[in-house]
Amino acid sequence: MNFHLRYMADAARKQVNYISLDEMPIGLWNEQAKGEEGERRFEQLMRHLLAENPNLFYRIKSNAWTIWPINTGNHWMVIILRMASNFRKKGSQTVAAAAILEPGHGLNWIKDVWRRVRRLLSCAGFTVRIQARRDVWFPAQRDHFSCGLRAVDLMRVFLQRIESALLLGNGDEHVWANFSGNLQPDKVRALMIGICAVEAMRFIHCGSARTRVGLLPCLKVRGFIDFHTNADKVHRPMLEPYQEPPPPGGSRTKREAPVAIEKNPLLEQIEDELARQKEAEGRPRKKPRRGDGPVSMRTRSKSKRSELVREFG
């Protein structure tokens, strides 16, 4: 993420705080630490963080935005914090908005992390507004290994949105807007490989070393295994299906529109003929109920139905 921060405009970069993983005590967000023992462990690590790294919380209150990736032991998540705009000389102590981005949309994980975030910030002297948490939709993770790639792409898009909001001054609403339904982890992996290559070249050229370019078979590169191949064994990236975003102002789960069922004209004629025969026999015609249609033929006499089918068929 430092690569993306380096290329942000100065006016925007000075208002964005990025918390790297090495600034956190190991096990602070561990999902395995639950129950009384887990809460006791979290309390110890939290107080250790408050005592050993007070600069972290000073950076949070001194910047408008904070991007905070966390690891729960075997899963990646992202925390986005937006401080209140009433900055003073010492910054803002109020969290106006926040989002917990969990790649798999797991509500239990989101609630647990959000509870710990509020507790940690409260102990550090921050005030978290009651309606601070924002719900941001993005394509959900469907596998067991792409959470880190998705977290990187979510942070990259948020940096772009935050930069646009700070430079254009068009408010924060578009920052919390839903994402597109197309998120490709393989594309993120390719971009990360390119960034790592650029950073390696930058580091090498700082000294007196020379650059050597080598070729490595794709089968030995992580991410190129089990891809779709053609007859010539040319490896292609695996594309994930497009996920439909929820409608504006709607829920996460898109509700399907009712499907109109076409009626069979032949069955309609049979229904009308049976109704006319009942009227001729002196019995009142049955009022159609809601949902009645050709299916109501099942309640008719089998003999009459077969005779009418032969007559009209």
The verdict on 20 and 116 lying in the same domain is yes
Residue 218 belongs to some domain of the structure: no
The verdict on 168 and 64 lying in the same domain is yes
Residue 91 belongs to some domain of the structure: yes
pTM of the model as a whole: 0.70
Hey, what amino acid is at 127? T
Residue 243 belongs to some domain of the structure: no
Residue 203: the pLDDT is 74
Residue 255 belongs to some domain of the structure: no
The burial class, CB within 10 Å (0-12 / 13-18 / 19+), for 25 is: middle
Calculated CA dihedral for residues 61, 63, 67, 71, nearest 10 degrees: -30
Predicted confidence pLDDT, tens digits, the chain (313 residues): 888 999 999 999 999 999 998 888 877 887 666 677 778 888 888 888 988 888 999 999 999 999 999 998 889 999 999 998 765 555 678 999 999 999 999 888 899 899 999 999 999 999 998 889 999 999 999 888 899 999 999 999 999 999 999 998 888 889 999 998 899 998 999 899 888 888 887 777 665 556 666 666 666 565 555 444 444 444 455 788 888 888 876 544 443 343 344 455 556 666 777 788 777 776 555 555 554 444 444 444 555 556 655 665 5
Task: Please name the residue that has the structure tokens 């991007």.
Answer: 67
Task: Give me the number of domains the chain comprises.
Answer: 2
Residue 213 belongs to some domain of the structure: no
Query: Cα(23)–Cα(120) distance, rounded to whole angstroms?
Result: 15
The verdict on 29 and 157 lying in the same domain is yes
The three-point CA angle 98-131-84 to 5° equals 55
* CATH number, domain with residue 119: 3.40.395
Range of the domain at 311: 262-284+297-313
